[in-house]
Structure 1
Amino acid sequence: MRFLFVHGTGVRRERHDMLFALVRDRLTARFPGAVVDSCFWGERFGAALSAQGRSVPGLGADGAAPGADEEEIAEWGLLVADPLCELRVLAEAGWEAGWESGSDGRPDGDPYDPGDPGAPGDPYDPDGDGFAMPGVQSAGDRVLDLLAAVSGVPDGGEQAALLRGTGLAAGFPAALETVSRSAEAARAGARATGEAQARELAKVLARAVTAAALASAGAEADCTGTERDRLVELITARLGGDARVPGARAAAVLGRLAMRVTTQPLLNAWRGSLTVGATPALGDILRYQARGADLRAFLHERITAEPGPTVLIGHSLGGIALVDLLALAAARGEPVPGVELLVTVGSQAPFLHELGALAGIVPGTKLPYAFPRWLNVYDRQDVLSYLAEPVFPGDPRVSDQEIGSRQPFPACHSAYWKQDSLYARIERAVAEAEIG
């Protein structure tokens, strides 16, 4: 009996040798008399950047510091992911300390900017009252009342046109309700005691509503940054604020955080290196979809180079290529000689069949008559592994086996090979197939 291991996407010589040594040792321990071979195809049929990546914007960039656009994109990335995040900063931190001078339109060093806006005598907040009477509505509460009075999409005007033209109209009423009824808005409103604070609160609320509408629309949003900013301005004005005045407390915290936790700044800075690094894994798949016949011919040659019976073990893309090869050969009435069992591990073949993207099987059809037994091993944490039995219902040749590595993705995609349960299940499948 012979085992032939076919590696997956992105594997090159050093990685292949390590994986194959592991597989060979585990298989020979259970099948002492078996021959265990490998089919290394990564360098011959894998992908490479033929123009050294010159198609990639930013490849070889000098790593300059991010500009204002990158920071703004990062902030909005964080806001769309969590529309209430800026409100949460104001709700928890307030304005009592660390309020940056000059951030609300006052000149730096102004004597009435001591970090306590709204103090008595503040010329930028003539209504500020450090001794406000109980029961008197605060400036922040007035802003929240104005927000609560905004009802859905207006019948006409610039704001209505913007909402409808950007695809945000459908989700706008729910976005208003989510923000206005949030505990974060209530707490931030309670802490906004002065008019300058209320103006910032109005802007933050407008940004939260806009972000919530963008999040609701998702990929269906047709909204440029200019349109988004204009919508914020219009909503802010309705709440008594001025969106053109830079934010202070929330912006100072969220701006720095956004550059650390959102992916876009990293993608912008590292796009070149990320593309080069991802080329073997992603590129192998794309290359196979376009020119898979060459790899399948190579696999056929390696399989038939030695007499059977043969057990084929394909990982990831290796499993896809084997399913295609065996199905195409069986459909022609020329099954690959000697193949008694196919084992796919962490494979996308069933999913590609559902998409109609397998070369060997027409969508909606069954496996060809001469297709061998098929053991499909998956880990539900491995997002690159899929079920075969439900895709080929009632076919006694096809069986799924779940294995859990207790590892998250992507580590679980390669963790199969160290698990005894994998080799025990292969041993059982060999016995069931009566392969001698």
Structure 2
Amino acid sequence: MGGNFAWNHASLPSVSPSAESFGPPVAEASDQSDEEHRGAPVLNAALRSSLSDAVDLLWEASEPLLRSEDVAPAAALAAQAASYALREPRPGWLDRVSDDQQLLTALAASLSAGPAGMTQDSRVETFGAGPGHPLVLARFREEAVRLAGAVPRAGSTALLSRARRPVHLNVALFLGDVLVYVQQQGLVDAPGVIAQRVTDALAEGARLRTTDDPHLIVVAHSLGGSICLDLMTRPEPPVRCEIDTFITVGSQVGLLAELGLFLHVPRPSPTSLRPVPSPGSIKRWLNVYDVDDSLSFLAAPVFEGAEDFRYSTGRGLLHAHSSYLNRPSFFLRLASHLGERRT
């Protein structure tokens, strides 16, 4: 009795290379604390928190990818590394390494040296072979190369768990916006406060058309795109205007349409998941999304005529959604796409 996705999640973006890009890729940017060690999730975890967190992340990322014959030696290495990290949460060599592979090499060297005071009957030392045994050290170095490669593929889950609160706040705020808008949606002849504000803006834009500046371009970020679409698909739109280019940015229009939350957007045929017509008042529709933005979705699989463009804000999961309109490159690419159609 919950949500039913009419187009079978067709609005969900992917990292497919066939997705049309909104201009060339941009350089990735990350939080200030990670700038020096970009692309090194294990090292960043160690620097932000402790070596124990880094070992946990490395194991969590690599364990599902291990072959059956690798589990026992890898578990032995993980146990040795975890024991060392508990004793040395911030070893002196940590500030001298610059990437994950260097961290793993330094950690292996520390394990091979053996902790001070470790006895022959230590559980960690006898779990597999002793940390000084040359075969174990060779195995660790072999595993280190493979495990370091596994982290970029699987490590994001562990990193995300540390960032749960800001992610939760972003999602909660978005859901709150949706619920408040639906609650205040109002009747066709008496729109709610939010709908009225957007209606007034559209009417003002249409009023400002001139012979020298005849194009009405609507840029709608996030839920703003859904509000505009809701207004334009009503049988009696509160404002009648022709939009030359409708630009949805980081928007959930496709998702909300799949869930049937637009009362006047038809559902697809049970035998065909073809897109439904876009509002007739829209001449051209550009939908820009970032795969790293968990609140952005595709529109083209759901609406005829919509054009999806993948854009990288370079800001990662936590900040992508609010970063599109803060980047000069976004507006340069937008101007380029608008110019292409008019020439």
Greater radius of gyration (CA): 1
Q: Which bracket does the TM-score occupy, shorter chain normalised?
A: 0.3 to 0.5
| TM-score normalised according to structure 1 size | 0.36
Q: TM-score of the superposition, structure 2-length normalised? A: 0.44
